[in-house]
């Protein structure tokens, strides 16, 4: 490091400032008020200890060379820092904004001080690189006669495509939507990830030689077996698109939707694209079932659409502020993280289980100060679990508090049942597995026990020349893991086509996060 004692001189962690919540909730722009290099950026990067064994790199699925790019940032060498970062990460403009930064949880400095600002440094590097013109196309020096089709343009598919294109293969990406990006475009709201960033990267990829076929659904517009006959290799990168549902009374009522039916249309409204579901939170009492990242995105989006109030239900208890004893360093610490959306408004209810949906009018009275604003108290319990009105539209969600008891840690607590007013309910409890109906019908591949596309350690499916990467093979995961999957799958496909490869492979198909299960 340029200053090996930097972590002793700068002990306070500082990150890019955010705009006031009252200001940003009125628009869909980036939540940050600061962008790019700041006067304090170099000092923050100098806090990196350049450890002999950099556990931060172990915590990162991409294997980013973190101490080296931190050192370059501390010296203001932005071009060198960008080239070092781009050796391992195809889309740092995405991970720098939405990654939960497992690298920081594994930071050695985090044992005694706040972790080094690795994610912030990564974001600053790529923003500087775009601003200063360092991000340029890298077309291959030679072309092979091999062709590859990639189905799906999410982070895994795009990373795989860029790697294989740069290796000299002719790559065509098929996307059923009208624009590439997958979850990055239609799953993550603009205030977290502006879509011009995806457009810039797609422009770079197109200049490098990657071809895109949009509004083309494989299995419908082109059959899977026909696609296989056209290319030397096919890569399935369709994500994990089948949402988990809630099997509780009243699920069939109107006004109850999956989060991923709601969130994509928020982006389509902003871009002028045709809506698929036309779900709006404006003027509504909204209940979001599920308190993860997607639930937080629903919260922020509903507030921006003008919801009357938003309540997010989380079945788990609130995580501790400090690293729990059951999650020792350097594993990923399940600690309480307040998202930007949580700071903007709404109510989170922890240890809360959804019992039933109600279509009966809800009591507008509030509890004696114990319940968050906007939460109504259920006047009585019905044996059927819900009441239906003439319109068959949801008006409330029956919930109950859970906690330790005779039935385990999530025992329903007597006397805690109540109804939350809700005329819009968004289900955000994750995804079960990829939608493989047409794939299994037209080009049968084996599935694993969880419904994902089965693969070997080289990302190969049971069909010759067909590979799978990203959530379609791994199961629901993070963007950073999807990028790592795409890069590693590209190396495997390049080896399959050429007999050898020079492409990097940061993970094996069987690798899993360095994390422990919840203690409760």
Quick check: 371 pLDDT over 50? no
pLDDT digits (tens, 9 = 90+) for 41-70: 999 999 999 999 999 999 999 999 999 999
Output the CA–CA distances (angstroms, integers) from residue 124 to 30, 93, 131, 195, 266, in the order listed: 14, 9, 10, 18, 27
Mean pLDDT score, 320-337: 88
Residue 373 pLDDT greater than 50, yes or no: no
Whole-angstrom distance, CA of residue 114 vs CA of residue 104: 9
Asked if residue 510 belongs to a domain, the reply is: no
Number of domains in the chain: 3
Cα–Cα dist 482/156, whole Å:
5
259 and 340: one domain?
yes
Mean pLDDT of 371-388: 29
Assess whether 440 and 320 both reside in one domain: no
**265: CB partners within 8 A, 6+ apart:** 275, 276, 277, 278, 279
Among residues 241, 199, 198, 249, which one has the least CA distance to residue 219? 241
- Domain for residue 28, yes or no? yes
pLDDT digits (tens, 9 = 90+) for 115-127: 999 999 999 999 9
Strands in 366-453 per DSSP E: 396-405, 408-412, 418-421, 424-427, 431-433
The whole-number average pLDDT for the span 190-203 is: 98
For the residues 69-95, what does the mean pLDDT come to? 98
What's phi and psi for 194, nearest 5 deg? -65, 140
pLDDT of residue 266: 95
The residue out of 384, 411, 429 marking a domain boundary is 429
74 close to 6: Cβ distance less than 8 angstroms: yes
* The pairing of beta strand 408-412 with beta strand 424-427: unpaired
- CA angle, residues 48, 50, 53, in degrees to nearest 5: 125
Token match 């603009």: residue?
190
Q: What is the structure's pLDDT at 493?
A: 99
Distances, alpha carbon 293 to alpha carbons 38, 79, 245, 315, 432, in Å = 28, 32, 17, 14, 16
Closest CA to 18 of 345, 343, 292, 347: 343
Q: What are the C-alpha distances in Å from 183 to residues 106, 333, 476?
A: 27, 25, 12
What confidence tens digit (pLDDT) does each residue in 432-452 have?
999 999 999 999 999 999 999
114, 140 contact by CB (below 8 A)? no
Task: Identify the CATH number of the domain in which residue 355 sits.
Answer: 3.50.50.60
Residue 366 has pLDDT above 50, yes or no: no
- The pLDDT, as a whole number, for residue 383 is 20
Contact 277, 320 (CB under 8 A): no
**Are residue 289 and residue 405 in the same domain, yes or no?**
yes
Q: 90: domain CATH number?
A: 1.10.1060.10
Say whether the peptide bond before residue 330 is cis (omega within 30 degrees of 0): yes
- Residue 290 inside a domain? The answer is yes
Q: What is the pLDDT of residue 389?
A: 57
Q: Between 323 and 453, name the one with better pLDDT.
A: 453
- Domain containing 489 equals 147-241+433-498
- Which of 20-34, 184-198, 354-368 shows the lowest mean pLDDT across its residues? 354-368
484 and 396 share one domain: no
Tell whether 274 and 392 lie within a shared domain.
yes
Whether residues 220 and 267 share a domain: the answer is no
- Tell me the per-residue pLDDT of 467-476, one tens digit each, with 9 for 90 and over: 999 999 999 9
Same structural domain, 401 and 309: yes
Q: How many CB atoms within 10 Å of residue 449?
A: 6
Q: Is 312 helix (H, G, I), strand (E, B) or coil?
A: strand
Burial 330-339, CB ≥16 within 10 A → b, else e: bbbbbeeeeb
Closest to 156 in 3D by CA, of 502, 493, 497? 493
Does residue 81 lie within any of the structural domains? Answer: yes
pLDDT at residue 72, rounded to an integer:
98
Q: Which of 429, 445, 476 is at the close of a domain?
A: 429
Tokens of 186: 């239609």
pTM for the predicted model, two decimal places: 0.92
User: Do 321 and 419 have their domain in common?
Assistant: yes
User: What HEC string does 158-206 produce?
Assistant: HHHHHHHHHCCCEEEEECCCCCCCCHHHHCCCCCCCCHHHHHHHHHHHH
For residues 237 and 258, state if they share a domain.
no
Query: Is residue 184 located within the same domain as residue 128?
Result: no
Cα dist. 263→98, 137, 142, 209, 300 in Å?
16, 31, 41, 31, 10
509 is a domain residue:
no
Report the pLDDT averaged over residues 231-256: 92
- Is residue 137, in this structure, part of any structural domain at all? no
Mean pLDDT across the chain: 90
Q: What integer is the mean pLDDT of 185-190?
A: 97
Helix segments in 325-419, DSSP class H: none
Asked if omega into 79 is within 30° of 0 (cis), the reply is no
Question: Binning pLDDT at 50, 70 and 90, where does residue 375 land?
Answer: very low
Contact 35, 16 (CB under 8 A): yes
- Tell me if 131 sits within 8 A of 124, measured CB to CB: no
pLDDT of residue 365: 34
Report the range of poorest mean pLDDT among 132-136, 232-236, 292-296, 364-368: 364-368
On whether residue 476 sits in a domain, the answer given is yes
Residues 224 and 251 in one domain: no
Strand boundaries in 184-281, DSSP class E: 211-213, 233-236, 242-243, 256-258
Which pLDDT score is estimated for 516?
A: 67
Looking at the domain assignment, is residue 320 inside a domain? Answer: yes
The phi, psi pair for 429, rounded to 5°, reads -120, 25
**In the prediction, which pLDDT does 338 show?**
86
Q: What's the first-to-final CA gap in the chain, in angstroms? A: 41
pLDDT of residue 418: 82
Pair 208, 228 in one domain:
yes
pLDDT of residue 248: 82
Is the pLDDT at 381 greater than 50, yes or no?
Answer: no
How far is CA 52 from its chain centroid? 31
Confidence of residue 274 (pLDDT cuts 50, 70, 90): very high
């Amino acid at each position: 490091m340029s200053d090996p004692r930097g972590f002793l001189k700068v002990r306070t962690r500082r990150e890019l400032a955010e705009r006031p919540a009252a200001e940003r909730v009125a628009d869909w722009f980036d939540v940050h008020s600061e962008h790019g290099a700041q006067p304090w950026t170099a000092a923050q990067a100098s806090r990196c200890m350049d450890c002999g064994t950099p556990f931060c790199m172990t915590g990162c699925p991409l294997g980013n060379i973190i101490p080296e790019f931190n050192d370059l940032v501390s010296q203001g060498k932005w071009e060198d820092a960008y080239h070092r970062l781009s050796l391992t990460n195809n889309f740092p403009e995405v991970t720098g904004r939405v990654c939960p930064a497992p690298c920081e949880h594994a930071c050695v400095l985090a044992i005694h001080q706040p972790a080094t600002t690795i994610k912030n440094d990564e974001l600053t590097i790529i923003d500087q690189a775009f601003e200063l013109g360092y991000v340029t196309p890298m077309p291959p020096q030679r072309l092979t006669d091999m062709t590859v089709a990639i189905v799906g343009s999410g982070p895994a598919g795009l990373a795989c495509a860029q790697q294989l294109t740069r290796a000299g293969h002719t790559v065509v990406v098929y996307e059923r939507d009208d624009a590439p990006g997958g979850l990055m475009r239609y799953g993550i709201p603009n205030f977290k990830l502006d879509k011009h960033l995806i457009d810039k990267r797609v422009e770079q990829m197109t200049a490098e030689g990657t071809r895109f076929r949009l509004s083309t659904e494989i299995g419908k517009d082109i059959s899977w077996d026909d696609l296989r006959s056209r290319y030397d290799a096919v890569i399935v990168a369709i994500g994990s698109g089948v949402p988990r549902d809630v099997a509780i009374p009243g699920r069939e009522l109107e006004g109850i939707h999956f989060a991923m039916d709601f969130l994509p249309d928020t982006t389509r409204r902003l871009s002028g694209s045709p809506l698929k579901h036309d779900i709006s939170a404006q003027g509504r009492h909204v209940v979001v079932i599920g308190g993860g990242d997607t639930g937080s995105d629903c919260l922020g989006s509903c507030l921006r659409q003008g919801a009357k109030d938003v309540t997010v239900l989380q079945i788990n208890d609130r995580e501790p502020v400090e690293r729990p004893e059951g999650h020792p360093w350097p594993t990923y610490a399940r600690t309480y993280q307040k998202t930007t959306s949580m700071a903007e408004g709404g109510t989170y209810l922890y240890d809360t289980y959804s019992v039933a949906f109600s279509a009966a009018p809800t009591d507008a009275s509030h509890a004696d100060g114990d319940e968050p604003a906007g939460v109504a108290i259920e006047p009585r319990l019905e044996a059927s679990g819900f009441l239906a009105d003439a319109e068959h539209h949801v008006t409330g969600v029956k919930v109950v508090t859970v906690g330790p008891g005779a039935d385990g840690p999530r025992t329903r607590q007597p006397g805690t049942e109540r109804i939350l007013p809700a005329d819009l309910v968004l289900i955000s409890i994750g995804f079960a597995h990829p939608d493989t109906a047409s794939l299994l019908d037209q080009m049968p591949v084996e599935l694993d026990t969880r419904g994902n596309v089965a693969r070997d350690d080289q990302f190969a499916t049971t069909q010759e020349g067909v590979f799978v990467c990203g959530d379609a093979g791994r199961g629901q995961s993070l963007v950073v893991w999807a990028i790592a999957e795409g890069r590693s799958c590209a190396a495997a496909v390049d080896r399959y086509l050429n007999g050898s490869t020079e492409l990097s492979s940061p993970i094996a198909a069987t690798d899993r996060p360095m994390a422990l299960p919840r203690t409760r």
